[in-house]
Every structure is written in C-alpha cells, then in structure tokens.
Chain A
C-alpha cells in the first residue's frame, strides 16, 4: 500500500530524534539502575557481610584492606542490601572500562592502611594483561576515527551479546561513532569477545583472532570474559579470555550496558574523555 511506504519514510521526520546523546551527556539511567557499589570506609564495621553474599567473590576483606574487583562484579547490589551499616552504597557508576586488569581492583580507603605491598599482591592475584596504551595510540593514528568491529561469543549467557545488538538500534546507534560491525574477522580492527572462553570454542576463537589483519585489538566484554564471572572454576571453560587472547580494554558488567560498551570502544580508540 502506498500509504505504508510513505509512512515508512515520513515516520522518522514526525518522531524526531530517537538517538541518545551519550556520551556528551551522562548515561540516561533510572534511580534503580545498578552500577558499581561504593564504600564509605569510615562507616564500615568490617563485618564481612558483603564478601559473604557476593556471588563471584568480587569482594575481599583482608587484614590490610577491603577490595572490590570490578572485573568480577556483576553489579548486582547484593552486597549493598547485605551491608549492616549502610557503608556500601548503590551507585549508577557504569563507565568502568580500563586498559589493565589490575586497574579494575578498587581498594578500600582508610581506616585500613593500604600499603604498597598489599596492593602489589592484589595486582599479582589479578592476572595482569599487557598495557596497550602505546599500541592503541599507534592504531588510532593508523585507523583514524573509524573502528571495524567483529563480535566473538566465546561462551556467554548471551546477555553481553544482546547489549551489543542493542548498540545497533536507533537509540544507541553506534555507527554515529564510526563504529561498524563487520561480517568477517578479515575486515576487523577489533574483536569484541564475550564469554568465559569455553573449551569447545577455544580453537575457533584463536583462529578468528589469527584471521584478523594486524594491528588488531581485543576487548574483553563483561564479567565472564574478564575473569569467568559466575562460571569461573568450571571444567568447561577458562576463567576469562585473558589466558588465550591479549585483551587491550576490559569492560565490566553483567552484562555491560550499551553505554558502557560505547565507553570501552571510545577508550580503545583513545577518544574517551573521563567525566569531570
């Protein structure tokens, strides 16, 4: 029917802008939206209730400090609900991507003195992945503002992957950043990897990476890809992709929201300006 065809073209004009203004504006979250919990260390009674309920062991209370590994955190707020003193608070902090695994470990502030030695131990515990700063800058120079991205599901629950799909809807519309999802690793600059790196998929994952032209970048998307998430310790997979692929940027979350994925991609392209 001609009217329908016409409607299809006129609809966008009638409805105006559907696309979010992220990152120029902060992510449009609701009060309930869960982000990384924040500790008010002065109010903490060190009961350990938070660590006891955490489903992934992301919180560690040691004699010399409290630490939260954002890389394992599901942003579930279970620790916030369990905290007897209100020291742990709900936040909407979701822009958590970093270049190094160790940067994801948040250390509690005094009253516990956090000494260099203890922090060093935390860093050793978290498998340190290579610092890609120099490489990313080189790639930025070479690739300019456009990133061609290939998705690789290495055994996820499909949550991260659906958020990646959401990047392509008119609200998030990631193509406005010059980011394009491509069909083949041969066309890709970046591999966005979700999942724990299952043993059944490992061979195909490595071959996908090897099929990419150099320079090539890897992003670990979500708690599973960073450290195994809820599936850590299984016979069926690795505890994250880092044992197999070199991650240049890590994006926490379970799953990371589309805005968090955008932040990670911008960080990768050296185009992320931290919010002041």
Chain B
C-alpha cells in the first residue's frame, strides 16, 4: 500500500535532533517512534537515529540524524518531548546511541547484568552471541523520608501474568511513586529478523505478541508490500479488517472480564471469560488458530478463510455482542463494582498527551485519536469508524470506552463479512530495493502500533523496529498510581491491559 511507503526524510545534525523533534511537536505533530540504526550495513559510517511523527494533517514526518559510533552521543530528546524517554533508553542499550541530558539514564532493555559496551543491534555483533553476565544489581528509584517504605513486586507474579518488576514507594497504603521495570521477556526479536527474507519473517514478527498478532501482522504485511510495490487483493484488505476487529473484540471482551477479576467480581469475570472463549473458538473455526496466527501475510492472506465458519460468523458475533452488552449493563448497574472503578487510577489528559498515550488509555483521557480513522489502512477508508472517548481518565472511563469499542468492533466484523469481496487471497511479492524504508501504523487492541522497516540486500530485512501500543502506554500505568492504594494496582494495571511481550520483544 502506497501510503505506507515512507516519504522524504529530513537530515539534521545529531546536535539538532532534539530541537527538530521539539519543533515538530510544537507545530501539532504527534510523536510516533524513534528508531536506532547501524548505518554500516548500507555503506554508512556510524549509527543513526530516526524520529517519526504524525503531522497535524496525518502525514508522516521523518527526521534523521547521524550519531557517532563512540560514546559522544547527542542531546537527548526527552527533556523536550517526554514521549521519547523509553525509546532513547532502548536505542542506547541496543545500539549505543547516548542521549546526553536524559533525565533517567538507567538501563532499560538490557538489564544491569549485561556487559557494558555490548550493543546487540550493531551489525558487527553476531545474533547468537551470549556474553557472560555480571553480578550487577538494578538501582530502583525509591522515595525516602519519614514513614515511607518501598514494596517490591515481581518479576514473578501471583496470577497468570507476564513478568515485570514493580517498585512501589508508599506511605501506609498510599502510593507515592511506582518504578516499573520491564523487558524480562526481551527475546531479541528485531535482531533475529535481520537478514531474513522479507517474505519469510512473518511467523517471527507476529509472535511479538500472542494476542496482538493481527495488528503486528497487518503492519508488517503493509510495510513489506510497500517496499516490494505489491498491492494486496481487495479480498485480503477486507479480510484484514475482519481479522483485526475480531482481534480487538476478543481482547476487549477478555479485558472487560479482567477488570471484573481485578476487583474479585467473579460472576462478571466468568460470564465475559466464557464469551471470550466463544470468540477465540470462532477464530479457530475461521483460520485454524485461536489467536489468528498465520493468516495475515505480505501479499494477502496466508490461507483461505473457512467458508462455513465465515458464513456463521455474523450471526455468532451479533449474539455475542448482545450478550456482552447485557453483561456490561449488569456490571454498570452494580454500585459496588462501579464505586471501585470510578476515580481509581485517573490519568489527566495533559499527562496522557505528554507521555504519548495511545489507544483506549488515551481515548479514556479525552484524546480523540484512532489510526483506523486518522490514517486508514487495509479497507478502513471505506468504513465509518466511530471513535469513543471519555473525559475522566479513570478505570471506569477505560471500562466504558472499551465496552463501546467492543460493540463497534462487533458491528465492523459483521459489515466486513458482508462486504468481503470474492477474489484471490494472495498475490506474489515484487522486488524490494536495498535501503528503502516503509513505515506502517496500525490501531491494534491496545492502540497505535508502529513498524519501521528497511530492506537489505536481496529482499532481506536490514532493520525492523516494532513500537507497540503497550510500549507507549506502560509509563502511563506508573503515572496513574500515585495517590492510589497499593491493593488497587492489579485493577489499575488490568484497566490498561498492556502486553509485556509486545513491549519487550
């Protein structure tokens, strides 16, 4: 798809990168991602950083700076644009680009134990090198003073939850500060993808996340198609809408149930959990995989949709939509439940905007943004995507926005199934030119997920970066905690429902 092919890229000196990004944000641009690069694979001399923003009109803005291989670094973007804070730390760990003046220069992706000077995304570091780890400890940020104490939680949790460490500073039950430490599930996905054929890396990319695989898959397929000058058939474009909305639907229904579970409201959790199970079973009947893996591929669809399952889908989804609505009504009418959700974990709009929030988390804080409407891909341009927002930014707001989006997704599934054109599923890919870049943004269940892709020699991946919605939103969870009590953390955390796997890669 042509809209994915990245346009011109402004070159600035490393000393001026932060200012250029700051100017763009001041002019109404929305920060999307920062990509660290080793330019030596394509004849360059050192490292590079590319900032990607969405301009006020929805166009992409790219700003690139060359950064030296040594530790001289460049002036940090974060003091001007806080949303860049984790991106800069990640690029420093993986490539060695040093953000001078970053307010939190601790390690992020490679924990303290990794050797200093080891930067796995550099082209001269082999993918399978496993250097010995040292016995260095994590330095958490804690609040000290009379009556304060620190509470460490994780990385292994009590429930069936992904690994992450949370250091609470509290007085009594009241949280003063939360320092989250993630990337325990860092699997080196981006490095593994380098050198693989563009056509063959799909199973790896979609496994950035078990439950956002369609979002990552659509971003990946769009980017590869842009680089290879391929236009996916109309049937595939509509099927991608269908699959993306099924993914949003089962995630949102499950998440509404998780919010119930987060306050011990068992009947709501069981009811919604059963509906989620019906949805993933419908996914399985349609494509043979409960989480829709292996279906979105560059060039179209990896396999045909099962005809009988497709015919049954609209009726099934309409029934589930009605049952979700009934469950939500029963939850909303329960004062005991709503009292727990209201005012809990509130994130003001300014905080959400400054930290670059996205998805349900942003919309529940009043930010009216949705890539399906703002930068349509697949067949979204032909659909009316209603964007639900709320003002209060608390758990209740995220619950309501999610419930409305689930209903809207169910209707989009029905409409996409009805309008799905007959025709071929897949076309062959064209050739990619080394050095070309494509950038794709997809509105996944958790918000905008960005994928930056540069082709290498002979149709391979030179560099791919996935910046998931969860990566963007994790700092928001920390911002939502101060003032709340420690026991509300599971509820607040579940109301964001972020993936660690998507973030850590």
> In the assembled complex, which residues on chain A have CB atoms less than 8 Å from the CB atom of B210?
156-162, 255
Q: How far in angstroms is the closest Cβ of chain A from B322?
A: 14
Cross-interface CB contact of A33 among B127, B128, B130, B288, cutoff 8 Å = B288
CA distance A152 to B159 in the complex (A): 10
Chain B residues numbered 284-299 whose CB sits less than 8 Å from any CB in chain A: 284-291, 293-294
Q: B163 interface residue, CB < 8 Å from A?
A: yes
Q: A143 interface residue, CB < 8 Å from B?
A: no
Chain B residues numbered 266-288 whose CB sits less than 8 Å from any CB in chain A: 267, 270-271, 273-274, 276-277, 280-281, 284-288
B186 touches A236 (CB 8 A): yes
> In the assembled complex, which residues on chain A have CB atoms less than 8 Å from the CB atom of B56?
none
> In the assembled complex, which residues on chain B have CB atoms less than 8 Å from the CB atom of A11?
267, 271
Cross-interface CB contact of B185 among A162, A164, A198, cutoff 8 Å = A198
A235 touches B129 (CB 8 A): yes
Q: How far in angstroms is the closest Cβ of chain B from A165?
A: 5
Chain A residues numbered 128-168 whose CB sits less than 8 Å from any CB in chain B: 151-166, 168
A153 touches B161 (CB 8 A): yes
Given A162-B291, A166-B277, A169-B273: A204 touches B163 (CB 8 Å cut-off)? yes
Can you name the residue of chain B whose Cβ is closest to the Cβ of A54? B203
> In the assembled complex, which residues on chain B have CB atoms less than 8 Å from the CB atom of A181?
159-160
Q: Encode B301-332 as 1/0 by CB contact (under 8 A) with A.
A: 01100101100000000000000000000100
Q: Encode B115-135 as 1/0 by CB contact (under 8 A) with A.
A: 000001000011111110100
Given A151-B160, A169-B276, A255-B291: A157 touches B501 (CB 8 Å cut-off)? yes
> In the assembled complex, which residues on chain A have CB atoms less than 8 Å from the CB atom of B274?
18, 169-171
Q: B187 interface residue, CB < 8 Å from A?
A: yes
Can you name the residue of chain B whose Cβ is closest to the Cβ of A165? B160
CA distance A168 to B288 in the complex (A): 22
CA distance A204 to B155 in the complex (A): 7
Interface centre among A55, A56, A81, by most chain B C-beta atoms within 10 angstroms, is: A55
CA distance A97 to B194 in the complex (A): 33
Cross-interface CB contact of B500 among A34, A158, A255, cutoff 8 Å = A158
Chain A residues numbered 206-259 whose CB sits less than 8 Å from any CB in chain B: 208, 229-231, 233-237, 254-255, 257
Q: How far in angstroms is the closest Cβ of chain A from B488?
A: 18
Chain B residues numbered 104-153 whose CB sits less than 8 Å from any CB in chain A: 110-111, 113-114, 120, 125-131, 133
Q: A74 interface residue, CB < 8 Å from B?
A: yes
Q: A184 interface residue, CB < 8 Å from B?
A: yes
Instruction: State which of A1-9, A60-68, A102-110, A113-121 sits at the interface with chain B.
Output: A1-9
CA distance A200 to B502 in the complex (A): 16
B273 touches A162 (CB 8 A): no
CA distance A171 to B274 in the complex (A): 6
Q: Encode B487-505 as 1/0 by CB contact (under 8 A) with A.
A: 0000000000001111010
Q: Encode A160-191 as 1/0 by CB contact (under 8 A) with B.
A: 11111110111110000000010111000000
Cross-interface CB contact of B501 among A158, A208, A234, cutoff 8 Å = A158
Interface centre among B184, B280, B293, B308, by most chain A C-beta atoms within 10 angstroms, is: B184
Q: How far in angstroms is the closest Cβ of chain A from B96?
A: 15
Q: A201 interface residue, CB < 8 Å from B?
A: yes
> In the assembled complex, which residues on chain B have CB atoms less than 8 Å from the CB atom of A200?
110-111, 183-186
B187 touches A184 (CB 8 A): no
> In the assembled complex, which residues on chain B have CB atoms less than 8 Å from the CB atom of A154?
163
B128 touches A233 (CB 8 A): yes
Chain B contact residues: over half helix, strand or loop, or mixed? loop
A236 touches B188 (CB 8 A): yes
CA distance A170 to B113 in the complex (A): 43
> In the assembled complex, which residues on chain A have CB atoms less than 8 Å from the CB atom of B186?
155, 198, 200, 236
B187 touches A237 (CB 8 A): yes
Given A32-B288, A77-B288, A235-B130: A155 touches B185 (CB 8 Å cut-off)? yes
CA distance A206 to B479 in the complex (A): 32
Q: A123 interface residue, CB < 8 Å from B?
A: no
B294 touches A76 (CB 8 A): yes
Q: Encode B241-275 as 1/0 by CB contact (under 8 A) with A.
A: 00000000000000000000000000100110110
CA distance A89 to B333 in the complex (A): 52
A159 touches B127 (CB 8 A): no
Q: A195 interface residue, CB < 8 Å from B?
A: yes
> In the assembled complex, which residues on chain A have CB atoms less than 8 Å from the CB atom of B285?
30, 32-33
Q: A122 interface residue, CB < 8 Å from B?
A: no
Q: B417 interface residue, CB < 8 Å from A?
A: no
B187 touches A236 (CB 8 A): yes
A231 touches B288 (CB 8 A): no
B294 touches A77 (CB 8 A): yes
> In the assembled complex, which residues on chain B have CB atoms less than 8 Å from the CB atom of A254?
207, 293
Cross-interface CB contact of A34 among B184, B192, B207, B289, cutoff 8 Å = B289
Q: How far in angstroms is the closest Cβ of chain B from A125?
A: 17
B187 touches A204 (CB 8 A): no
Q: A127 interface residue, CB < 8 Å from B?
A: no
Interface centre among A4, A32, A76, A152, by most chain B C-beta atoms within 10 angstroms, is: A32
CA distance A257 to B210 in the complex (A): 13
A234 touches B188 (CB 8 A): yes
Can you name the residue of chain B whose Cβ is closest to the Cβ of A55? B203
Q: How far in angstroms is the closest Cβ of chain B from A53?
A: 8
Q: B360 interface residue, CB < 8 Å from A?
A: no
> In the assembled complex, which residues on chain A have CB atoms less than 8 Å from the CB atom of B276?
166, 169
B330 touches A156 (CB 8 A): no
CA distance A48 to B213 in the complex (A): 28
Q: B381 interface residue, CB < 8 Å from A?
A: no
Chain B residues numbered 153-178 whose CB sits less than 8 Å from any CB in chain A: 155-156, 158-163
B188 touches A4 (CB 8 A): no
Cross-interface CB contact of B273 among A7, A33, A170, cutoff 8 Å = A170
Which residues on A are within 8 Å of B, measured CB to CB?
A: 1, 4, 7-8, 11, 18, 29-34, 53, 55-56, 74, 76-78, 81, 151-166, 168-172, 181, 183-185, 195-196, 198-201, 204-205, 208, 229-231, 233-237, 254-255, 257
- 8 intermolecular pairs with C-beta atoms under 8 Å apart: A30-B284, A78-B294, A151-B161, A152-B156, A159-B291, A170-B277, A230-B192, A254-B207
Q: Which 4 A-B pairs have the closest CB atoms?
A: A159-B210, A236-B188, A183-B158, A234-B188
Which residues on B are within 8 Å of A, measured CB to CB?
A: 110-111, 113-114, 120, 125-131, 133, 155-156, 158-163, 183-189, 191-192, 200, 203-204, 207-211, 213, 267, 270-271, 273-274, 276-277, 280-281, 284-291, 293-294, 302-303, 306, 308-309, 330, 333-334, 499-502, 504
